[in-house]
Structure 1
Amino acid sequence: MSDGARSLDSIPYDIFYNIASGLECQDFIHLSRVNRSINTLMRSELIAKKSVEYHMSHTKEGQLALRKKIGYREAIGRLYDIKEAFATAQPYSVTVLSYGKAFLYNQGFLCYIHANEIRVLDVHSAKDVEQVLNIRTVLRRVFPDLIPEEEDSVQLSLLHYSDGIVAFLCEICDRGESWLIAVDMTEDRKSGRVRVCKQLQSTRRLFVRHNQAYLYYGTHSALGIHGYHEWSIQCVNLKDRQDITQRPVVLDGFAGSEIGQTVCFDIYKDHLYAVTNQVNFEEEEVDWTSYYVWACIPPSKDPKSVKLNRIWRRQHREGPINDTWTDISLRKDEATERLLILECRREWKDGRSENVRSYYTQPLLSPEEISQNGHKLNISEKQEQSRSAESASSVSSALSESRPPSMRFLPDEPLTMTLDSSSKPNYEPPKERLGRYVHAEYSMEEATILRRDFILAKTKCRTYNPSASAFLDLVNDPKQDSGHSIPRDRLRIRTVSRKRRCPIDEDGDEGEKGMLFKPKLGAEGRPIEWSEERFVSRGIKLWPPDNAPEELSELLCPSKRTGRVYAIADERSLVYSVDTPGMEEQAIILISFDPKIQFAGLKRLSSTTVIQAAEVKGPIDIERPRAGEDSRKRKATFLDQDAADSESPRHPTPSFRTEPAMHLGVKRGYWFR
Structure 2
Amino acid sequence: MTDADTKELVDHAAQDNIKITAAQASHTAEAQEAQHTGQFSRALRRVAKRRQALSRASPYLVGIVALADSYEYIHGMLCYIIEARPKRWLRILDLHRSADYELVIDIPTLVHEAVPRSAKSRKYKFRVLYHANGITSCLFSFALPNTENWLLIFKADEHLIVETLQLDSTAKIFVRNNKDYLYFGTHSEEGADGFRKWVIMGYSIEKRSWFSRKMHLTDVVGYDIGSTVCFEIIDDHFYGLSNQTDFEIRETDWNSYYHCFRFPLDNPDLKKKQTMKTEDSWRRQHAEGPIDDRWSFLKLEKDEASGNINIIESRKEWLTKKSGSLRTYYITPVIFDGASEVNSDEEPPTVNGNLPAGRLTGSIAYLDKPQGSDLRFRSPENVHPGDDSSMALAFTRSQTHLRDYHRCCSTYLDLVDDISSGSLGPRHLRLRAGSRKSQTYWPSWEYSGYDYEMEPKQKSIEEPAYPYQPNRVYFWPPKQDEPNRIPFIDDIYMILNPPGCLGGVISTSDERSVLYATGEDANGLKVLVYLSFDPAARLVGMSREKYVLGEQDMSSSPRNETGGSYHNLETGTVRGTQHSEREDKLIGDLSHYPLPSYISDAPSVQTVIMTPPEGCKPWAWTEQPMYRNLPGKIFTFAH
Do the two structures share a fold, i.e. TM-score over 0.5? yes
Contact 1:289/1:313 (8 A) holds in 2:
yes
Give 1:152-167 correspondences, 5 Å limit: 152-167=122-137
Q: Which has the higher helix share?
A: 1
Seq. identity, %: 29
Alignment partner, residue 661 of structure 1 = 625
Q: 1:94 to 1:43 in 2, by over 3 A?
A: closer
Alignment partner, residue 418 of structure 2 = 477
Match of 1:183 among 141, 144, 154: 154
Q: 1:345 to 1:137 in 2, by over 3 A?
A: same
Q: 1:266 to 1:36 in 2, by over 3 A?
A: same
Contact 1:153/1:172 (8 A) holds in 2:
yes
- SS of the equivalent of 2:327 reads strand
The answer on 1:462 being equivalent to 2:432 is: no
CA RMSD of aligned residues (A): 3.4
Cα deviation for residue 216 of structure 1 reads 1.0
Q: Counterpart of 2:147 in structure 1: which amino acid?
A: G
Q: 1:476 to 1:517 in 2, by over 3 A?
A: closer
Q: Which has the higher strand share?
A: 2
Give 1:13-92 correspondences, 5 Å limit: 51=20, 53-72=22-41, 74-92=42-60
- Distance across 1 between alignment mates of 2:13 and 2:162: 49
Give 1:585-664 correspondences, 5 Å limit: 585-604=525-544, 606=546, 611-613=549-551, 615-617=553-555, 654-664=618-628
Give 1:307-456 correspondences, 5 Å limit: 308-309=275-276, 310=278, 311-365=281-335, 370=337, 413=372, 429-442=374-387, 448=390, 450-456=391-397
Q: Counterpart of 1:297 in structure 2: which amino acid?
A: F
Match of 1:584 among 516, 524, 533: 524
Q: 1:253 to 1:145 in 2, by over 3 A?
A: closer
Q: Deviations over 1:148-175 (max 9, x none)?
A: 5x0x311012111111111111011344
Q: 1:393 to 1:533 in 2, by over 3 A?
A: closer
Give 1:132-147 correspondences, 5 Å limit: 132-147=104-119
Q: Counterpart of 1:139 in structure 2: which amino acid?
A: V
Contact 1:566/1:578 (8 A) holds in 2:
yes
Contact 1:273/1:296 (8 A) holds in 2:
yes
Cα deviation for residue 509 of structure 1 reads 8.3
Contact 1:562/1:580 (8 A) holds in 2:
yes
Q: 1:180 to 1:326 in 2, by over 3 A?
A: same
Ranges in structure 1 where 5+ consecutive residues have no aligned partner: 1-32, 376-391, 395-408, 414-426, 519-531, 620-650
Contact 1:264/1:276 (8 A) holds in 2:
yes
Contact 2:80/2:92 (8 A) holds in 1:
yes
Alignment partner, residue 210 of structure 1 = 177
- Distance across 1 between alignment mates of 2:90 and 2:202: 24
Alignment partner, residue 440 of structure 2 = 502
Cα deviation for residue 551 of structure 1 reads 3.5
Cα deviation for residue 543 of structure 1 reads 3.0
- SS of the equivalent of 1:536 reads coil
- Distance across 1 between alignment mates of 2:58 and 2:93: 24
Alignment partner, residue 475 of structure 2 = 541
Q: 1:559 to 1:39 in 2, by over 3 A?
A: closer
Alignment partner, residue 379 of structure 1 = none
Q: Deviations over 1:156-205 (max 9, x none)?
A: 121111111111110113441001111113x3x3x5x2223111101111
Q: Of the two, which has the highest radius of gyration?
A: 1
Cα deviation for residue 489 of structure 1 reads 1.6
Cα deviation for residue 42 of structure 1 reads 6.5
Q: Deviations over 1:474-518 (max 9, x none)?
A: 12233799xxx831122111211111222277xx98524465669
Q: 1:337 to 1:504 in 2, by over 3 A?
A: closer
Cα deviation for residue 431 of structure 1 reads 3.3
Cα deviation for residue 104 of structure 1 reads 1.7
Q: 1:559 to 1:281 in 2, by over 3 A?
A: farther
- Distance across 2 between alignment mates of 1:618 and 1:438: 19
Contact 2:403/2:415 (8 A) holds in 1:
yes
Cα deviation for residue 672 of structure 1 reads 5.4
Contact 2:57/2:474 (8 A) holds in 1:
no
Q: Deviations over 1:224-277 (max 9, x none)?
A: 121211111111112222111x23211112211111111111111232211111
Q: Counterpart of 1:328 in structure 2: which amino acid?
A: L
Ranges in structure 2 where 5+ consecutive residues have no aligned partner: 342-354, 358-367, 444-454, 558-614
Q: 1:585 to 1:143 in 2, by over 3 A?
A: same
Contact 1:504/1:514 (8 A) holds in 2:
no
Aligned residues, how many?
529
Q: Counterpart of 1:563 in structure 2: which amino acid?
A: G
Cα deviation for residue 456 of structure 1 reads 1.1
Larger displacement relative to structure 2 (155-164 or 547-556): 547-556
Alignment partner, residue 294 of structure 1 = 260
Match of 2:248 among 282, 302, 311: 282
Give 1:521-532 correspondences, 5 Å limit: none
Contact 2:404/2:509 (8 A) holds in 1:
yes
Match of 2:503 among 556, 563, 583: 563
- SS of the equivalent of 1:203 reads coil
Alignment partner, residue 458 of structure 2 = 511
Contact 1:332/1:340 (8 A) holds in 2:
yes
- Distance across 1 between alignment mates of 2:80 and 2:339: 43
Alignment partner, residue 248 of structure 1 = 214
Q: Counterpart of 1:257 in structure 2: which amino acid?
A: Y
Cα deviation for residue 618 of structure 1 reads 6.3
- Distance across 1 between alignment mates of 2:289 and 2:623: 55
TM (norm. structure 2) is 0.75
Q: 1:165 to 1:580 in 2, by over 3 A?
A: same
Alignment partner, residue 166 of structure 2 = 199
Contact 1:435/1:535 (8 A) holds in 2:
no
Cα deviation for residue 127 of structure 1 reads 1.6
Q: 1:52 to 1:593 in 2, by over 3 A?
A: closer
Q: Counterpart of 2:67 in structure 1: which amino acid?
A: Y
Contact 1:479/1:488 (8 A) holds in 2:
no
Cα deviation for residue 355 of structure 1 reads 0.4
- Distance across 1 between alignment mates of 2:200 and 2:5: 55
- Distance across 2 between alignment mates of 1:282 and 1:291: 14
TM (norm. structure 1) is 0.71
